[in-house]
Chains A and B, each alone.
Chain A
Amino acid sequence: QLVQSGAEVKKPGASVKVSCKASGYTFDSYGITWVRQAPGQGLEWMGRISVYFYNTIYAQKFQGRVTMAAETSTKTAYMELRSLRSEDTAVYYCARGTTGTFDLWGQGTRVTVSS
């Protein structure tokens, strides 16, 4: 399973770091993809990290503002989003897989950006 960190409330301009702890499978055999969903909106692909090769691909929209990382010793993936604005208010999900077969999802982390 994938277990994510708890809800966050941040002020505009701040950063948020969401964690995603894996269990029950070989962590570095799969990548981790991050997806977000704004209130009442659809799913938005943010990017992915290949845990084994430790390389990342980000959606152009988030380039320069997002960093994805993975720590094999703790089987935990992280997504940090900086320079937060109100439009970043969303539920952030991690999912196992990088090829489009996202077969295991975290429970989601609600991030609220508000002054």
Chain B
Amino acid sequence: SALTQPASVSGSPGQSITISCIGTSSDVGGYNSVSWYQQYPDKAPKLMIYEDTNRSSGVSNRFSGSKSGNTASLTISGLQADDEADYYCCSYTSNTTHVFGGGTKLAVL
């Protein structure tokens, strides 16, 4: 089943926010294979973080990924207006498939 993400988070410009992604030992906790995607309305997703903690080429160092047990997290520091988007986590699973989280809408107030 889908990984669990908060439906929404919000922050003010300059602040930091963290989006959690809760799975199980059969997915998030079992492999170094969590990735994070940013999606603007009516646009294709964009890879931000891969293999739990690695930033994709060209992605600002304000974005960072971490993991503890069955929970992965995406932290965005120094929030900017154009960070406002939907964010999805994704993990490899023990069934050799992948699963996405339900998505989190980030509002920059």
* B residues with CB within 8 A of A: 2, 33-35, 37, 39, 44-47, 50-51, 56, 86, 88, 90-92, 95-103
- Residues of A within 8 Å of B51, CB to CB, are 100-101
- Contact across chains for B33 and A45 when beta carbons are under 8 A apart: no
Tell whether A108 pairs with B44 under 8 Å between CB atoms, given A45-B98, A101-B50.
yes
Tell whether A105 pairs with B44 under 8 Å between CB atoms, given A42-B103, A45-B98.
yes
**17 A–B contacts, CB within 8 A, in A order:** A42-B102, A43-B37, A45-B90, A45-B97, A45-B98, A45-B99, A47-B97, A60-B95, A93-B44, A93-B45, A99-B33, A100-B50, A101-B47, A102-B35, A102-B90, A103-B50, A106-B44
- Contact across chains for B56 and A107 when beta carbons are under 8 A apart: no
Q: A43-B37, A45-B99 are in contact. List 10 more A-B contacts (CB 8 A).
A: A42-B102, A43-B88, A45-B98, A100-B51, A102-B35, A102-B90, A103-B47, A103-B50, A105-B45, A108-B44
- Residues of A within 8 Å of B39, CB to CB, are 43
CB proximity of B93 to chain A, nearest CB, Å: 9
| Bound-complex Cα distance A99 to B34 (A) | 10
- Contact across chains for B45 and A101 when beta carbons are under 8 A apart: no
CB proximity of A60 to chain B, nearest CB, Å: 8
> Across the two chains, which residue of chain A brings its CB closest to B52?
A100
Tell whether A43 pairs with B100 under 8 Å between CB atoms, given A100-B92, A105-B45, A108-B44.
yes
A57 sits at the interface (CB 8 A): yes
CB proximity of B105 to chain A, nearest CB, Å: 10
**How many residues of chain A get a CB closer than 8 Å to chain B's CBs?**
22
**Chain B, interface SS category:** strand
CB proximity of B16 to chain A, nearest CB, Å: 24
- Contact across chains for B96 and A102 when beta carbons are under 8 A apart: no
A44 sits at the interface (CB 8 A): yes
* A residues with CB within 8 A of B: 33, 35, 42-45, 47-48, 57, 59-60, 93, 95, 99-103, 105-108
- Contact across chains for A42 and B100 when beta carbons are under 8 A apart: yes
- Residues of B within 8 Å of A101, CB to CB, are 35, 47, 50-51
* A-B pairs, 4 with minimum CB distance: A105-B44, A42-B103, A101-B50, A43-B100
